[in-house]
Amino acid sequence: MNWLQKGAPSSSDILNQVDAELAAGEKRLREMERYVTSDTFTLRSRFRQL
């Protein structure tokens, strides 16, 4: 069954899905920022440069 047979998603459903995807992306970005500014990242980076 395709979306035409069961009806197109409402604009509210689409916005909710996009909002959830953006929130997940922002969370992932915050986690990456936290890691690359950490002492652990700095230490590993320096060892790789040896």
| DSSP state string for 1-50 | --HHHH-PPPHHHHHHHHHHHHHHHHHHHHHHHHHHTSHHHHHHHHHHH-
What contacts 9, CB < 8 A, 6 or more positions away? 3, 17
Q: What is the pLDDT of residue 4?
A: 57
Domain ranges of the chain: 10-49
Output the pTM of the full model: 0.65
Provide the token pair at 43: 């230490």
**In the chain, which residues have pLDDT < 50?**
1
